[in-house]
Amino acid sequence: MRIHSYNKRETIPVNLRIILADDHPFVILGIRAALEMHAGVTVVDEATNPFSLIERLRSTPCDVLVTDLAMPEHSLAIDDGLNLVRRIRTGWPQLRVVVMTTLANAAILRAIVSDGAVSMVGKAESMDELWQAILAARHGETYLGRSIIEALAQPQDPECEQPPAPRLTGKQAAVVRLLVSGQSISDIAAVLGCDRRTVTRQKREAMAKLGVTNDPGLFSYVRAYGILNFESHI
């Protein structure tokens, strides 16, 4: 398997068709907006669970699929994301796939990236990292994000797969809880009775503590570990 890296000056052919799949519509909205800033890119369809993803693939031609690895509507089992990827690769062997994940299980990651048509990036990584993976996929190459490479390089201890609970303040936890429930910054400010700038600051500080850099990473982290597991204090 060849791992390829593309620089920002490279361009892609026009009419690059992408299908996005994530169980959080807000995440899809953000990724769509970021990708469609690139000339020639069109998000031709979206899916929020594995069933709808398979239906979209059957009905909508695309060049690259960008999909979350674990969507709870399918199952909460950690290896079901691997089964979904295998099903897609069997049904659409010519399709290039970019997987987004917070998973750190080296065995499952290795099983996925062993397929030369599948690239993978961490959900906490930047949109530029995702774009590089899409560029590589479009050119028939495989791309692994930095967090994926680091996870593959380290031996995994099953007892240490869940990170220590971050210490969020009560307000930070409240902001994150409301955000992942689908409320906007303005909505959260109204609920908490504070200024939008305060909500934005609390969100930024919470993300820093959780070690994520964007909304997809935040949603994925909360889905994986649960906001109730955060050790909150005022």
223 vs 218: CA distance, rounded Å: 9
Specify whether 93 is located in the same domain as 180. no
Q: pLDDT tens-digit profile of 159-177?
A: 444 555 567 888 888 888 8
What is the mean pLDDT of the segment spanning 19-42? Answer: 90
Give the number of other Cβ atoms within 10 Å of residue 148's Cβ: 25
Specify whether 139 is located in the same domain as 107. yes
Specify whether 184 is located in the same domain as 116. no
Is 1 within a domain?
A: no
Is 8 within a domain?
A: no
Beta bridge partners of 169: 233
- DSSP summary character for residue 88: H
Residue where a domain stops, chosen among 126, 153, 180: 153
Q: pLDDT tens-digit profile of 212-229?
A: 777 766 776 676 555 544
The tokens for 68 are 């979350």
Give the number of other Cβ atoms within 10 Å of residue 194's Cβ: 15
What is the mean pLDDT of the segment spanning 25-46? Answer: 90
Specify whether 62 is located in the same domain as 115. yes
Domain of residue 191, CATH code: 1.10.10.10
Specify whether 20 is located in the same domain as 109. yes
CB 60 within 8 A of CB 66: no
Residue where a domain stops, chosen among 153, 184, 200: 153
Specify whether 85 is located in the same domain as 119. yes
Q: pLDDT tens-digit profile of 62-94?
A: 999 999 987 765 443 434 677 788 889 889 989
Q: Is the pTM of this model over 0.75?
A: no
Dihedral angle over CA of 54, 180, 105, 84, nearest 10: -10
Residue where a domain stops, chosen among 124, 153, 182: 153
Q: pLDDT tens-digit profile of 166-211?
A: 678 888 888 888 887 778 899 999 999 999 999 999 998 888 887 7
- The number of distinct structural domains making up the chain is 2
CA 196, 202, 204, 207 dihedral sign is negative
129 vs 146: CA distance, rounded Å: 9
Q: Whole domain around residue 135: which residue ranges?
A: 16-153
Q: pLDDT tens-digit profile of 44-55?
A: 999 988 889 999
